[in-house]
Amino acid sequence: MRNKFILPLALLIFGFFGCNAQNSSSDSNSATRTEISVDELKKLIDSKDSNLVILDVRTAEELTGELGAIPGIIHIPVLDLDRRAGELDKYKDKEIKIICRSGNRSGKACTLLNEKGFKTVNVAGGMKAFRKIEPKE
């Protein structure tokens, strides 16, 4: 019986602590977005939004693997992110969309960057989900 509650509890905890984006709005009633769908990301890419910043936290090998990479991304592997976060300082005024293979490492990257004052949004489902709507280029 106890096992039925472990996964929902873990998801609730991760959702609360995993990727809490900082809200740049001065309106205290506006909701903080912590996640974006791959469909929403695709629309932003297609709109050629000049404010779009996508950080891919997978390994270099994964970028050239079967899922490929989204053109124009910034690449910093999650294992290097703590020491290389300064490379992202010029994007502190923007919301950084963070993607990995499935959404796990990007959630960790959100937490790390949020603690350093960045505004982040996790891409739900990662590149696995993105490739279902957007074939590898």
What per-residue confidence (pLDDT) applies to 5?
A: 46
What per-residue confidence (pLDDT) applies to 137?
A: 60
What per-residue confidence (pLDDT) applies to 134?
A: 73
- Residues facing 74 on adjacent strands: 55
- Segments making up each domain of the chain, as ranges: 3-20+31-133
What is the share, in percent, of the chain residues with pLDDT greater than 70? 74
Question: Is the pLDDT confidence value at 114 over 90?
Answer: yes
Chain length of the chain: 137
Nearest to 129 by CA among 97, 99, 92: 99
More confident residue, 11 or 130: 130
- Per DSSP, which regions of 14-137 are E strands? 35-36, 53-56, 74-75, 95-99, 119-123
More confident residue, 20 or 130: 130
Architecture per CATH, domain 3-20+31-133, reads as: 3-Layer(aba) Sandwich (3.40)
Residues forming the active site: 100
Average pLDDT, stretch 80-104?
Answer: 96
Q: How far apart are the C-alpha atoms of 88 and 76, rounded to whole Å?
A: 10
pTM recorded for the entire structure:
0.76
What confidence tens digit (pLDDT) does each residue in 20-55 have? 433 333 333 334 669 999 999 999 999 998 899 999
Average pLDDT, stretch 104-114?
Answer: 96
